[in-house]
Structure 1
Amino acid sequence: MTALNSPFRGLGGIKVFAPATVANVVCGFDVLGFAVNAPGDEVVMRLVGKPGVAITKIEGDNGKLPKAAEKNTVSASVQHYLKYVDRTDVGVEIELYKKMPIGSGLGSSSASTVAGLYAINKLMGDLLTPMEMVPFAMKGEELACGYGHADNVAPAMLGGFVLIRSYEPLDIIKLPVPQGLYCAIVFPDVDVPTRDARQMIRKSVQLKDAVVQWGNVAGLVSGLFMNDLDLIGRSMHDVLVEPTRSILIPDFYKMREMAMEGGAISFGISGSGPSVFAFTRDEQTANVITQKIQQHLKTLNINSYTYVSAVNEQGPQILG
């Protein structure tokens, strides 16, 4: 581990995994998110003699992602990082391995970006803390979807459950994770672009709806601190965003009905969708729910992917 913490490892490299995330957590649009154990993305990064940042390989994206350094979220974020630490003389080569679906609502761009930032920070000798790297990851989100939100990148970088109390100035708070809490995720393989889903959201809301939403966010955060799963479930309702975004997700309300009847604590959209998720009290219940929803989607001729995970409290990790 000494070599990883030493600046400029010659031509050596590092391989980093960063996790997928569930953003919004139903009632906390742009301010709440948590990390999961799977899926996630991997980045291999090495220092080279020629200054500049270059992506040499991308696998698993079906040709969707750009290799140009200024257009790819991973390399662009690394460029911002190197400029900030005044080391634009450094040469970096990046290989990106997409291990999770693009456009899933599970923070695909976030996982890649965080893996890259974590890797370059290690190669440079841990010049910044994970918290200090979040703004650079937000630059990647801005490039990916037009808005530099932190509800994916913050939990991916820090691990666990996070609250973004403020964006200006940026104020991120790590929240406790109740024991025994599991997440069941289903990704219906349909196209819901993040930019389009964000544009559908109402620009103004009625005060009575805002009051309901404030109460639910406060209730969810309180439930996390109190280890009260029932309070968490009662609080995870969204009157502002979900009614609009659910239109883009096939049979959303039927899937929610199936999850709740199957013993879920709560159910909602992950990020901008189309992935949906449920909180459960144990792993077995999460597995049963994902299987039933997947079978239902199959009757609609919709392919899907499922993931079951506890909340990932570690965040990025070095693989080699």
Structure 2
Amino acid sequence: MEDKIQEAKSHPAIKASPLGGGGGIQVFAPATVANVVCGFDVLGFAVNEPGDEVIMRVTNKPGITISKITGDDGRLPMDPAKNTVSVSVQHYLNSIGRTDLGLDIELHKRMPIGSGLGSSSASTVAGLYAIKTLLGDDTDPINLLPFAMKGEEMACGHGHADNVAPALFGGFVLIRSYEPLDVVRLPHPEGLYCAIVFPDVDVPTREARQIIRKNIQMKDAVTQWGNIAGLVSGLFMNDIDLIGRSMKDILVEPVRSMLIPDFYKMREMAMELGAVSFGISGSGPSVFAFARDEDTANRITEKLQKHLTEISIGSNAYVSTINDKGPRVIG
């Protein structure tokens, strides 16, 4: 994939698939960390786990059905007109002139909903990658991004790309512009580990967006620009110290951190254990830290989970390098 991806455009209609009724595929798509502290709506990266799985089968009856959803505690709609996976797949089929196709979808949630780890994005990307693969569509994956953003718009009311782009492409991603859509895949240090802890508290994405300040002072904007530039420079220069110094957010984190129990206490603990940086994943409540090695990342998650247990909050934890592969076929 080229580093710079130009504006996505609809590609020509794909010829009829050779698959008959019953042909199918199983796809995994990864969780993502969006914003990356200072890069609100423009930065994100993929991790190895957790993630979601979609099983998609071709049927003989035109139209999309959802036959099974697991791992959601009954929270997600089975109606294909209201589910992010089927909606984004339908947009894709419309764009290539394949509304004649019949599909059955199973969605298996392998990650918590409302975690701040791109749960809806992982599901949507898995579905789009599945249909792309089923149809033998070998065009650039950038063509799927606008359809994935449609799923995000349905899920949280805002079609941002900082979760779906890294889930789709893998790696560390910068959304330079939305109009026109311009996405840049960034390099990153190979030995950088991400320690993630998801506290079992509810922070809905829509509500988390509504509390963000609409007006900011110029001096704060300048500070934020400097931090984003420093983070991107650190990624290119393989400078982990510069990455750590740059991951500071004075615009969004001060507000959203109020929704996360003991956020600043957890940050203090992580930094004392050797974290490079610490912040909120997406809209929260998940928090994450960069670490220089796997042992440090594991110590951070263990310490934070122990603290959350002490204040009667359950949690899940994950340790991962940055996932450069994105979605993959697993069956």
Instruction: Name the TM-score class by shorter chain.
Output: over 0.9
Structure 2 unaligned blocks of 5 or more:
1-14
Contact 1:213–1:238 at 8 Å: present in 2 too? yes
Deviation at 1:130, TM superposition (A): 1.2
Paired amino acid for 2:174: L
Contact 1:180–1:281 at 8 Å: present in 2 too? yes
1:243 alignment counterpart: 254
Whole-angstrom distance in 2 between the partners of 1:143 and 1:133: 16
Q: Percent identity?
A: 73
Structure 1 length as normaliser, TM-score? Answer: 0.98
1:234 corresponds to 2:245: yes
Whole-angstrom distance in 2 between the partners of 1:75 and 1:9: 19
Paired amino acid for 1:111: A
1:183 corresponds to 2:194: yes
Whole-angstrom distance in 1 between the partners of 2:19 and 2:216: 53
1:42 corresponds to 2:53: yes
Deviation at 1:221, TM superposition (A): 0.3
Whole-angstrom distance in 2 between the partners of 1:51 and 1:299: 53
1:85 corresponds to 2:109: no
Question: Which whole-Å deviations, capped at 9, do the CAs of 1:180-222 have from their partners, x for residues lacking one?
Answer: 1000000000000000000000111111000000000000000
1:17 alignment counterpart: 28
Paired amino acid for 1:96: L
Residue among 7, 16, 26 paired with 2:17 = 7
**How many residues align structurally?**
316
Deviation at 1:7, TM superposition (A): 2.5
Deviation at 1:179, TM superposition (A): 1.9
SS in 1 for 2:33: strand
1:286 alignment counterpart: 297
Question: Which whole-Å deviations, capped at 9, do the CAs of 1:232-251 have from their partners, x for residues lacking one?
Answer: 00000000000000000000
Paired amino acid for 1:56: S
Contact 1:34–1:155 at 8 Å: present in 2 too? yes
2:8 alignment counterpart: none
Whole-angstrom distance in 2 between the partners of 1:263 and 1:206: 33
Whole-angstrom distance in 2 between the partners of 1:25 and 1:132: 25
Deviation at 1:301, TM superposition (A): 0.2
Question: Which whole-Å deviations, capped at 9, do the CAs of 1:130-178 have from their partners, x for residues lacking one?
Answer: 1110110000000000000000000000000000000001000000021
Paired amino acid for 1:108: S
Whole-angstrom distance in 1 between the partners of 2:101 and 2:295: 48
Question: Which whole-Å deviations, capped at 9, do the CAs of 1:62-115 have from their partners, x for residues lacking one?
Answer: 000001111100000000000001110101100000000000000000000000
Q: Within 5 Å, which residues of 2 pair with 1:86-101? A: 86-101=97-112
2:274 alignment counterpart: 263
